[in-house]
Amino acid sequence: MKKRGHLGAQIWALLLSAAMLCGTGCSSTGGKDSTSADYTWGNVAIGGGGYVTGMEYNPTEEGLVYARTDIGGLYRRQKDGNWVPLTDFLGSDEWSYIGIESMATDPVEPNRVYFAGGTYMNDPGALFASEDYGETWTRFDAPFSCGGNQSGRGCGERMGVNPKNNKEVWFGSRDSGLWKTEDYGKNWEEVTSFPVKGNYKQESNSIGIMWVEFDPTSEDMYVGVAMTDGVCIYKTADGGSTWTPLAENAKGMYPLHAGFSSNGKLYLAYSDNCGPNLSPTAGAVYCYDPASDSFTDITPDLNDGRQGGFGGISVDAQNPDTVVVSTLGWWSDNGDNLYYTTDGGKTWSGLFHNNTGETGYQMDTSEASWLDWGRGENQAKTGWWVADVNINPFNSDEVMYGTGATIYSTTNMTKIGTESVNIAFDAYGLEETAVFKMIAPPANESGDSPQLYSIMGDLTGFAHMDVTKCPDDAHFMKNGKPTGLDCAFLEPNIAVYASEEKTTALTYTKDGGKTWESVKHKPDPAAGGQVAMAADGSSFIWVPSSVSGTPYVTTDFGETWYYVEGLGYNAKITADRVNPKIYYAACDGLFYVSKDGGLTFESTGQMVADSAEPVTVFGKEGHVWLTSTTLIMYTEDAGESFQTVKTLSTVDSIGFGKAKNEKNYPVIYAEGDDGTNGYGIYKSEDKGENWVRINDDQHLFGNLNPKYITGDSNVYGRVYFATDGRGIVMGDIVQ
């Protein structure tokens, strides 16, 4: 089939490959074009935060390994241990491709790498090829979809490079059969000789072809397919011209992962469903011997209370009888387990034995202790949703596995059963959170306040004491599905967030996020909504997510509440960042001010757009800016008068950061378009008279949604913005 699309030469800056560690900013340097300032791009350090669905070591180049995520793109790990993103060239119009269905690293020419992109099956899919370790990509627009964030996303790898003819790359789709390229991924065609497409569906999603494997001792290739009749594995000995099904095996279960040993045995991890949203309830491990054309059940049986199925499996490249397999869906107090054999599955050792309480491992989360998840003296869980596990082909002691929150690696796996296996956090630079909002208040006089507060999906949020370091467990919010956030800019250790959970609908801190406490009384049975906090923390207003949208104010952290008078329903409220008594609101096309701490509001008579979002300026009493897609308005007299800024044709969000010097107005950052240089991240240092786009087309960061951006109140030039899957992106001026 002819190629339908091409990205051209996406020129990535060379310094991308020298990205810094999580502890020093996780940054990478982007290129400069005629529209952009010199900026270096990285992330606020968290250390994962989302589902890492697969990892792949290159078998011929030591230290080269790739990781795929379900909504956060593809990463490459450097020899220094840091992960660097490879798919940030995909922007909002192509965001669906950063849900990675599968990937493949070339065992002959390690510079070549491939991935299949497509987050959901109702969106188009694409197959990407690179010949420079992922710095630039060629794209083939596929006539089928992918499901990088759907059921069975941990299966694989669906994509594989033929080690005996590496021009040939194979990919198994979910509902459109088997595909092949013979020119390094430039053109792809369906393998019409392949007899099945898979007939098992989960959560209404086709699982299809789950993996492609090559026998190192022959010319044979094997393909695993989700078939309900138990005939799930097909073999070809003639390059795909004809196919032979292997005998029915483990009917009612599916071989999610497979791996060949160097002596030609195929090891298989089975589960009764394909996970992860629907947890498997049963599983098995088998070894298939092509010489005898037979399956042998080698399921670990340690009488350890194992539940669920099996996810990932890997064979040691240096020891063909050494295999590791992970459980999938075992929601034990310890997490998922890893089993390890050195005799081809005759005997096994496990990381832990739930029936006896014995553990043979030690978790090291010191570099990202939020992963302890409040377990106190009990060490962090080994992880959950462990769908893929890999033995480093150059170091048998390193076993890497992905979880629903991060990546871990062992440092002494060969000692299992005799010594405690050390398992360490291994996601430096990989960031995969879906972010809602961030606030970067000025530092307090004692210097012990957070640099950044944030709220996000799944993890609730964090109070970052240092944005270049992964947060500790003490500053991890943990509880609730957050919807709103604010803090006191004069007392930045005081903050509040709103949540959809009714028991934790409003939660506050008075010590910079070391401890959080939910309000004891609520004036409304609803939850969620938005919050705005007075500059000194003396009050905050809550607009719950309810039909009425009635706002309430408290002056004692929820002990007592008052109706906010003077506003209509669903008002958008913000606090003055200097005067604790002043709040502002946009409601029903008018601008309102409260001068009594939020108890009553009065209209200034100034008209604003119905969709206007008010944003206040730190250090500037009475300064409020409003955005409404095509218009920016601002007031410097608390809404008595407004001026209009028309220098951006589109503006979705704005925020403010530290000025270059005290005489200057705070730097304004915006997500929008100036009508000439395209949609992107802009900044203005002259109150919106002129703008410069500071990101380039190689740094688009996928889905910038919800639209939220802010500058840093303490660091000139630093900007943060939210993404749906790429974490909190942080930009700094190149020094």
Determine contact, residues 584/639, Cβ cutoff 8 Å: yes
Give the single-character DSSP code of 398.
Answer: E
- The CA-based angle 348-397-330, given to 5 degrees, is 45
Q: Look at residues 225, 235, 271, 239 and name the one whose alpha carbon lies nearest to residue 252.
A: 271
Say whether 434 sits in a helix, a strand or coil. Answer: strand
Task: From residue 92, give the alpha-carbon distance in Å to each of 86, 368, 588, 681, 711.
Answer: 16, 30, 31, 12, 21
Under 8 Å between Cβ of 465 and 441: no
Is residue 458 annotated as a catalytic residue, yes or no? yes
Cβ burial of 269 (10 Å; 0-12, 13-18, 19+) is: buried
Q: What Rg, from alpha-carbon coordinates, does the chain have?
A: 27
Collapsed DSSP state (helix, strand, coil) of residue 473 = helix
> How far is it, in rounded angstroms, from Cα 61 to Cα 33?
33
Report how far apart, in Å, the C-alpha atoms of 103 and of each of 158, 175, 584, 698 are. Answer: 8, 18, 50, 21
Check if the beta carbon of residue 449 is closer than 8 Å to that of residue 440: no
Tokens at residue 51, please? 């589902």
Q: What is the distance between the terminal CA atoms of the chain, rounded to a whole angstrom?
A: 48
Strand-pair category, 361-364 with 421-425? parallel
CB 316 within 8 A of CB 326: no
CA–CA gap between residue 45 and residue 618 (Å, rounded):
24
Tokens, residue 445: 């006089």
Residues 582, 575: contact at Cβ < 8 Å? yes
Q: State the DSSP string of 165-213.
A: STT-EEEE-SSS-EEEESSTTSS-EE-TT-------EETTEE--EEEEE
113 forms beta bridges with 105, 130
Rounded Cα distance, 344 and 298, in Å: 8
Main-chain dihedrals φ then ψ at residue 415, nearest 5 degrees? -95, 5
Q: Are residues 116 and 68 in contact, defined by beta-carbon separation less than 8 angstroms?
A: no
Question: Backbone phi, then psi, for 341, in 5-degree steps?
Answer: -130, 145
70 is catalytic: yes
The single-letter DSSP state of residue 639 is: T
Report DSSP state, residue 230: S
Residue 20 near residue 27 (C-beta atoms within 8 A): yes
For residue 650, what are the β-bridge partners? 673
DSSP string, 228-244: TTS--EEEESSTTSS-E
- Residue type, position 215, single letter: D
CA distance 691 to 670: 9
Q: Rounded to 5 degrees, what are φ and ψ at 289?
A: -105, 110
Question: Which residue in the list 33, 458, 637, 686 is annotated as catalytic?
Answer: 458
Residue with tokens 């497509």: 118
Assigned token pair, 340: 């390890």
Q: Distance between CA atoms of 535 and 78, rounded to whole angstroms?
A: 44
Rounded Cα–Cα distance for residues 141 and 60 (Å): 30
Residues in CB range of 290: below 8 A, 6 or more apart: 215, 218, 220, 235, 264, 265, 266
- Please tell me which residue in 70, 106, 272, 696 is annotated as part of the active site: 70
Residue 479: CB atoms within 10 Å: 16
Residue type, 277: N
Q: Exposed, middle or buried, 330 (CB in 10 Å: 0-12/13-18/19+)?
A: buried
Which positions are catalytic? 70, 458
